[in-house]
Amino acid sequence: MSVQPLGVALVGYGYWGPNLLRNYMELPEAEVKWVCDVRAEALKTAQSRYASVPVSTAYDQVLADPAVDAVLVATPISTHHAIAKAALEAGKHVFVEKPMTADAAQARELVELAAARGLTLMVGHTFVFSPPVRKVKELIEAGALGEIYFITTQRVNLGLHQKDVSVVWDLAPHDLSVLYYWLGEHACAVSVYGRGCITPDVPDVAFINLKFPSGVVAEIQASWLSPVKLRRTIVVGSKKMLVYDDTENVEKVKIYDHGVDFQEPSDYGEFQLSYRTGDIVAPKISGAEPLYLEAQHFVHSIVDRQPPLTGGEQGLQVVISLEAAEASLRAGGVEMPIAVPPCTA
């Protein structure tokens, strides 16, 4: 680590910004130089909590400050591109909330710009930094689950309808970023069934069916209209299976030493299967806050000049997937291919 803490500026102090501010205030490796928002009253709220932090409604002023090494973008999605682009052009590293941009072209432009300038560009796919998600990644990497067969995930609850984006754009970025991180590959096709129950133009329930090049199939159920809050993911592999339930306080990940053993067809050409059920283990999971780990990772990526785990390419791939998913949903479920990002970077 450098001796000098990294100077950061937070742009956008609405719903999510305060969470970023709280974590960066506690991070020894960073120093918050500015909180910036076009709404003066939001800045007042920020100052009531952190009296010492300078605030500004003028983004230009922030970008002009040489003490600012990096900009954190937590504004509405439609503004991500412009704000991030200005920051990159001003030579600042950029952390931008998910989804990265409102469309793939915007995301691609940012990826290319960051690459051209040699700047770090990271997207806030926070779940990738969550200890239970990390634990599952470790297990997959170590081969503990064997070959992955399929994954299902539910992210449903009652509320908060968005006015301008569907439940796909709102909730699926979490699951897509996690699936891509775990599997180390991107979905190649998607079919989405859903409906706008409350306002027909804004789908609020979606069944997102995904195919991966390796043969893995996955399904994401996303809804703002479920009576119960579910955050449950089932990963089935050839050796073991696991359940990751983020609503559990203690046993967030449970590993089932269960499986199906396949015997070669006998003389009569019939296959024989036997089922194996063994112990169930809930490994100890660190209680560290994902946002703090994410903030740390951003700073370290810059200082160590290492590509972040959730860099611009990863953010772009999620946006490309969301576009395909949304198109499928709007077309009544017709399967859409998901392109590999043709970045020059």
Please report, as residue ranges, which positions from 204 to 243 form the binding site for a second copy (by CB under 8 A). 205, 207, 209, 211, 215, 217, 219, 221, 223, 225-228, 234, 236, 238, 241-243
Of the pair 66, 267, the CB lying nearest a second copy is at: 267
Distance (Å, rounded) from C-alpha 73 to C-alpha 8?
11
Please report, as residue ranges, which positions from 22 to 81 form the binding site for a second copy (by CB under 8 A). 51-52
Distance between first and last Cα of the chain: 27
Shortest spacing between CB 39 and a second copy, in angstroms? 17
Q: Does 3 bind a second copy (CB under 8 A)?
A: no
Q: Does 334 bind a second copy (CB under 8 A)?
A: yes
Please report, as residue ranges, which positions from 143 to 182 form the binding site for a second copy (by CB under 8 A). 149-150, 152, 156, 158-159, 161, 163
Distance (Å, rounded) from C-alpha 275 to C-alpha 1?
51
Of the pair 44, 58, the CB lying nearest a second copy is at: 44
Q: Does 16 bind a second copy (CB under 8 A)?
A: no
Helix (H, G, I), strand (E, B) or coil at 221: strand
**Cα 89 from chain centroid?**
25
Strand partners, 210: 190, 218
Of the pair 77, 243, the CB lying nearest a second copy is at: 243
Of the pair 45, 61, the CB lying nearest a second copy is at: 45
| Sequential DSSP letters for 108-167 | HHHHHHHHHHT--EEEE-GGGGSHHHHHHHHHHHTTTT-SEEEEEEEEEEE----SSS-H
Helix (H, G, I), strand (E, B) or coil at 284: coil
Of the pair 314, 328, the CB lying nearest a second copy is at: 328
Backbone angles phi, psi at 148, to 5 degrees: -80, 130
Shortest spacing between CB 75 and a second copy, in angstroms? 19
User: If you search the block for the tokens 């960066």, which residue do you land on?
Assistant: 24
Q: Are 97 and 122 in contact (CB under 8 A)?
A: no
Residues that bind a second copy (rule: CB under 8 A) add up to a total of 62
Q: Does 283 bind a second copy (CB under 8 A)?
A: yes
Candidate residues 115, 197, 343, 345; the one interacting with a second copy per rule CB under 8 A: 197
**Residue 153 CB partners (closer than 8 Å, separation 6+):** 175, 178, 179, 218, 219, 220, 221, 232, 233, 234
Distance (Å, rounded) from C-alpha 185 to C-alpha 319?
15
**Contacts with a second copy, residue ranges (CB under 8 A):** 51-52, 149-150, 152, 156, 158-159, 161, 163, 191, 193-195, 197-199, 205, 207, 209, 211, 215, 217, 219, 221, 223, 225-228, 234, 236, 238, 241-243, 247, 249-251, 254, 256-258, 260, 262, 270-271, 273, 275, 277-284, 332-335
